[in-house]
Structure 1
């Protein structure tokens, strides 16, 4: 009896998932968030009914953006959510970030909004502070987007010489620096402002240029150029 019941439940799940997938493919925008997440979780827990877990996750984190920002510890507190979900979300974040970078890389000339959006996709979900550099050539084409430093949840150290060496090594003419504030405040600290000034001065002496230093949070981005900090 147990085998028969198990087989019947498996068939029901398979049939439900097939119907859900067909509805999604017919009109993705008409499928509610929890069912979209339920489909995605089917890649993690193949033999499980994931509807309840999908609803729990969205309720706990307030939607997809909050879910993508969730830490391993926060996910572990949700009933039925194991390490496989954490790994899956990490993979999704990386795919989204790389897609954004590829889009900017293809452009003949990039703008600051292009770079800021690329930086937000890379940094807005990070639990620790990181410094990234978007290196540009003389035609303002993106040469690379590279992490320079990884820090702690509330601090990351950087020296102007590291930026200078990175630009020279990669034949860059200018750059946009970006780093995140996981705590949520987008305003630069006094240390951020002082460091930005030292980097801009060091580059100027070599005929190189710092376009901007952008502070990124999960909700916003702060441009030091627009705030006249690089005048």
Structure 2
């Protein structure tokens, strides 16, 4: 006879099936995504266990944790059984995951290829729903002296002051820069304004004997390189 979550809550499950005990005894790799989320939220509601509630939330984003990380606390609270406290716990866990990727010890601090720029900047920009413009300031060895957010805009555009970027390049004693911005739409095609801005930076940098090595457009899963496409 199959019993409903209402009459058979998680605390009454076999210990092997209880997420917290399973993590303790077998390690985190033994748990599914829904079981890990169930640990975060702690409980379900009268008609649904924490695991089943977590499965429902994951199903709404096609079981894609990247998409789960994009859900706002307000959106999470639309699920029956998820209040503000639970929504905040999920959002906090997703942000910790993003920050862990950003500080991964494998993260490169030297620019060798356009791919290396993408690997450094994707954790910062790939998941955003608005555009941001960043600049990487490099030394003679192409090591990163600083990476700086220069502007934050809307869903389709952002503006940046070329003079401020060049001023900071001189302050960092940078010999080269890499321009980076994201396209929340997922499009890898540079806009007309992207191309014009790249040329504007190139001309300004040349007058200061600074190289613009690349302009990278970042999306959630891929990137476009002006240098790779011979547009610099």
Deviation (angstroms), 1:32: 2.8
Please list, as runs of the form range in 1=range in 2, the aligned pairs for 1:64-75 lying within 5 A after superposition: 64-75=65-76
2: distance between equivalents of 1:229 and 1:117?
21
Over 6 Å off, 4+ runs: none
Native 8 Å contact 2:188 2:224 kept in 1: yes
Structure 2 residue matching 1:18: 3-state secondary structure = helix
Native 8 Å contact 1:61 1:70 kept in 2: no
Which position in structure 2 is the counterpart of 1:58?
A: 58
Deviation (angstroms), 1:207: 1.0
- Between stretches 184-193 and 65-74, larger displacement belongs to 65-74
User: Number of residues paired by the alignment?
Assistant: 217
1: distance between equivalents of 2:187 and 2:84?
29
Deviation (angstroms), 1:68: 1.5
Deviation (angstroms), 1:183: 1.8
Query: Cα 1:92–1:224, aligned 2, differ >3 Å: closer, same or farther?
Result: farther
**Equivalent residue for 1:132, pick from 124, 131, 134:** 134
2: distance between equivalents of 1:9 and 1:89?
21
Kindly indicate whether residue 208 of structure 2 is the aligned counterpart of residue 206 of structure 1: yes
Structure 2 residue matching 1:69: 3-state secondary structure = coil
Native 8 Å contact 1:176 1:213 kept in 2: yes
Structure 2 gap ranges (5+)? 1-7
Which position in structure 2 is the counterpart of 1:169?
A: 171
Deviation (angstroms), 1:20: 2.5
Which position in structure 1 is the counterpart of 2:119?
A: 117
Deviation (angstroms), 1:211: 1.3
Deviation (angstroms), 1:131: 0.7
Which position in structure 2 is the counterpart of 1:78?
A: 79
Native 8 Å contact 1:100 1:118 kept in 2: no
Two-structure CA RMSD over aligned residues (Å): 2.9
Structure 1 gap ranges (5+)? 1-7
Native 8 Å contact 1:105 1:142 kept in 2: no
Structure 1 residue matching 2:198: 3-state secondary structure = helix
Native 8 Å contact 2:110 2:143 kept in 1: yes
Native 8 Å contact 2:216 2:223 kept in 1: yes
Which position in structure 2 is the counterpart of 1:144?
A: 146
TM-score, L = length of structure 2: 0.79
Please list, as runs of the form range in 1=range in 2, the aligned pairs for 1:1-231 lying within 5 A after superposition: 11-12=11-12, 16-22=18-24, 24-25=26-27, 28=29, 30-39=30-39, 41=40, 45-48=41-44, 49-62=49-62, 63-84=64-85, 87-88=88-89, 90-103=91-104, 109-112=110-113, 113-230=115-232
